[in-house]
Amino acid sequence: MKAPYYPVPEKGYLSKPGDQSCYEYLLECYAKVSKDIGDYTAFVNLDCETKVSQMIADVEKLAAFLNANGFKKGDVITVFLPTSAHAFIAFYALSKLGIICNMAHPLLPPDAIKEILDITKSKAIFILDRAAGAYAKVLKDIFTIVCSTSDYTSGPIKPYVVADDAKNSNIPDFDTIHLFRDIMAGEYEPAETVRHLGKQTMIYLGGGGTTGRSKIIQHSSYAFNYLAYLDYLLDNDCVHPYGESYNLCVLPCFHAFGLGSSMHYAVCNAYSCILMPKFDPEKANDYISRYNVQEILGVPNMFKKMIEADNFDNPGVKNLDYISCGGDTVTKEFRDEFTAKVKKNGGHAHLLSGYGLTETCAIATTNSLSHNKNGSVGLPVDGVEVIVVDENKKEVPAGVIGEILVRGEVMMNGYLDDGYVENDGIWKDENGVGWVCTGDAGFLDEDGYLFIAGRIKRIIIISGYNVYPATIEQKVMLLDYVNEACAVQGYDDNGKICVKLCVSLNDGSLDHEKVKKDLIDYCEKNLDHFSVPRKIEILEALPRTKMDKIDFMAMTEKAPLAKRR
């Protein structure tokens, strides 16, 4: 299924990419936008604004420093930072020099980040001052740039942030350590922009993999520039006063959607990015109340926490325009609840769900203001094709569940080779065209909208019958007293596979045994025989991954020993 037509906005600030690096693409966009509106704010850190012109000057300074220290095209440098001003600067400086940018989760333990540095052959690392002490053994042997939150503050707040940084930091005294603020104070010979083909690998991202094992995913500048261009097409549906619009950066910069859409696209198209290194729903709502926040990209649990917070009801909610949600299931009930909350505050924004993987820059399909359907994750975006196939990789008719395959302009170059089978997770059809095998089950309807049934790895097979956890969860979430639901594979007293349903409740005082009985009765009336849970576990809160997705693996039961034999 191919994408619907989305007209290119009249202003034409973002164009379909060619061989530009991400930095060159930014400069081209900035030249067009600033010609009309002048300089604009790139990002906001603790209410301190930095203009794009200053950001570019800092990118050039950092690139000159790296160049002076011998870093060159083809090297790899790890950005081990939360969403921050420094992540912007590092990403574009590395892009300018043709250095591969390895984005790593800043909460990885020392042994894990050491392993990633070794696998990627990283020659340097960016790290926050508050984390440096805990990673001293790692930093001792690698060129390190230490960043401080206070680097991008100004005015009366700066002395307080400087003092807080100092109080909470323990920077090792190694020859390998270089302070970002000292780099910005230095003078270096300007570095030349290094040309490279847009489709060359320039970005590494960690991902869950589509075959069950965590992997490092290789992306090109072209893919991320195309993602920015896609966002620009979708933005045509929205109200966007240039120079006055803010984007709330709640997604982490090591996430494909966070890096490509919340950061790269936003600054290219004059959305000023309000940086949130750590998501806090009340703080997010406070920003909405004080800034003209029009765009937020997030995951369902973030939006759920925001509307549950007391300060969501505020005058700024009426400014919300483009709210994109992915990474987990969005029920019709929650989407309606979110819309009602926004409408109550005079707004018109809708929660627009989409679908993608890190392997596809986190986007493949999306609902938009002009093209949407309840329960779906939307239509394919421009430049992307989606098909659904059976176990023999044959396309299935509309309405039939199979594995979702994706190909297109935002597709990865492949996984970083560290012993995997080449092109693992990519299937080539009879024409030699590569498709990402998503590992997700779903179907396309007659209109081409994609519906998700769940992870193929999550499919529970009982007596040869496929049970789809997402179907169970969507039904159970209709119950008023259920807060969260996750259906996983369990085992009954006889060691046979069954459905285990894990839930958290909106009211902790409810009688758990009565709730379990009510759930069983409800499921027996609303689900097929094999999908009815035989075990129910009530938790205070469902466990979550570092990406704030429900951690179904933590609740999945291991096979009894006799069964494993």
Question: What pLDDT score was predicted for residue 101?
Answer: 98
* Residue position matching structure tokens 């627009």: 352
pLDDT tens digits for 240-270? 889 899 999 999 999 899 999 999 999 999 9
Q: Please say if the pLDDT value at position 562 is more than 50.
A: no
**Cα distance between residue 438 and residue 360, in whole Å:** 10
Question: What pLDDT score was predicted for residue 528?
Answer: 80
What's the whole-number mean pLDDT along residues 298-311? 92
Q: Are 454 and 439 spatial neighbours (Cβ–Cβ below 8 Å)?
A: no
Question: What pLDDT score was predicted for residue 294?
Answer: 95
pLDDT tens digits for 337-348? 999 999 999 999
pLDDT tens digits for 348-402? 998 999 999 989 998 999 998 888 898 899 999 999 999 999 988 999 999 999 9
Q: Are 180 and 80 spatial neighbours (Cβ–Cβ below 8 Å)?
A: no
Cβ neighbour number for residue 213 with a 10 Å cutoff: 11
Give the mean pLDDT of the chain: 91
pLDDT tens digits for 65-88? 999 999 999 999 999 999 999 999
What is the pLDDT confidence band of residue 463, given thresholds at 50, 70 and 90? confident
Share of the chain above pLDDT 90, in %: 72
**Cα distance between residue 415 and residue 149, in whole Å:** 33
Cβ neighbour number for residue 511 with a 10 Å cutoff: 9
19-41 as b/e: b if 16+ CB within 10 A? ebbbbbbbbbbbebbbeeeeebb
What is the pLDDT confidence band of residue 561, given thresholds at 50, 70 and 90? low
**Cα distance between residue 250 and residue 84, in whole Å:** 11
Could you tell me the pTM of the whole model?
A: 0.84
CA distances to 60, 65, 86, 384 from 188, rounded to whole Å, are 10, 6, 19, 43
Question: What pLDDT score was predicted for residue 311?
Answer: 97
Q: Is the dihedral of CA 543, 547, 550, 552 positive or negative?
A: negative
Question: What pLDDT score was predicted for residue 79?
Answer: 98
**Cα distance between residue 105 and residue 252, in whole Å:** 9
pLDDT tens digits for 96-109? 999 999 999 898 88
Q: Kindly report which listed range (201-205, 466-470, 477-481, 487-491) carries the lowest average pLDDT score.
A: 466-470
Give the H or E element holding residue 523. Answer: helix 512-526
Q: Please say if the pLDDT value at position 159 is more than 80.
A: yes
**Cα distance between residue 123 and residue 71, in whole Å:** 8
Instruction: List all residues 6 or more positions away from 412 whose beta carbon is below 8 Å from its beta carbon.
Output: 217, 218, 219, 223, 358, 359, 360, 436
Order of strands across the sheet that contains 482-491: 482-491, 497-505, 535-538
pLDDT tens digits for 164-222? 999 999 999 999 999 999 999 999 999 999 987 779 999 999 864 444 445 799 999 99
pLDDT tens digits for 5-50? 667 777 889 999 999 999 999 999 999 999 999 999 999 999 999 9
Question: What pLDDT score was predicted for residue 565?
Answer: 35
CA distances to 47, 464, 474, 560 from 469, rounded to whole Å, are 43, 16, 9, 21
Closest CA to 324 of 302, 346, 347, 357: 302
Reduced 3-state DSSP string for 267-336: HHCCEEEEECCCCCHHHHHHHHHHCCEEEEEECHHHHHHHHHCHHHCCHHHHHCCEEEECCCCCCHHHHH
Question: What pLDDT score was predicted for residue 546?
Answer: 74
Question: What pLDDT score was predicted for residue 210?
Answer: 43
- For residue 165 the two structure tokens come to 């940084």
What's the whole-number mean pLDDT along residues 313-319? 96
Instruction: List all residues 6 or more positions away from 148 whose beta carbon is below 8 Å from its beta carbon.
Output: 128, 129, 162, 165, 169, 179, 180, 181
CA distances to 74, 100, 217, 412 from 121, rounded to whole Å, are 11, 10, 14, 20
Q: Please say if the pLDDT value at position 466 is more than 60.
A: yes
* Residue position matching structure tokens 């046979």: 496
Could you tell me which residue, 546 or 208, shows the higher pLDDT? 546
